[in-house]
Amino acid sequence: MYDQHEALSLRGMHILSELLESKLSEIRTAAAACISALLTNPDGKTVANEMDLLKLLLPILFSEDRAESANAAGCITFMTTTTPAKLRAVELDIIGRLLFLAGDFHCLQPQLHCIKALTNIAEAPKGREILRQYGTDKIRSIPSQNEEIVERSICTLIGVIQWKP
């Protein structure tokens, strides 16, 4: 275990964000994994929002390297628990990519990250509206591999999308 506060006070998030621009996929993947760990801390989310980390994660989310995009999705899942990140995610138009990755991953954890990130984003009215345009049939078609947790997560996402104030 490590002290997230110390890592954040030493500008760890800033250092790791610079590594997201490395030419080496392995370094970008590892940097995103470390950032995910810092994002479990509320201060990490605040720093990430201030840095506009979502924008820095976009190239990694769109990477063809599935380890990279999986770690970016993990970061996005933790970040989008905050309202500013939900709104920024809508602005950056990442919903379509998260939907694609949710159906493309054949590994449980990255798939769950994508579905949970979408659920978080759907809590914002504009995010919900965009996901409604995709339609619940598209979301229901996400393969669950008969994993109960994936099926529950998909049902939760659909419930959030269908919610009306």
Distance from chain centroid for Cα 144 = 18
Residue position matching structure tokens 């970061």: 75
pLDDT in tens, 16-48: 999 999 999 999 999 999 999 999 999 999 999
Mean pLDDT on 1-18: 86
pLDDT at position 1 over 60: no
Q: Is 83 helix (H, G, I), strand (E, B) or coil?
A: helix
pLDDT at position 75 over 50: yes
pLDDT at position 3 over 80: no
Which CATH number does the domain housing residue 53 bear? Answer: 1.25.10.10
User: 126: domain range?
Assistant: 4-162
Mean pLDDT of the chain: 94
- Report the distance separating Cα 134 and Cα 9, nearest Å: 41
pLDDT in tens, 141-151: 999 888 899 99
Phi, psi (deg, nearest 5) at residue 114: -65, -45
pLDDT at position 137 over 70: yes
pLDDT at position 89 over 90: yes
Q: Total domain count for the chain?
A: 1
Mean pLDDT on 130-154: 93
Choose among 100, 88, 113: nearest CA to 139.
100
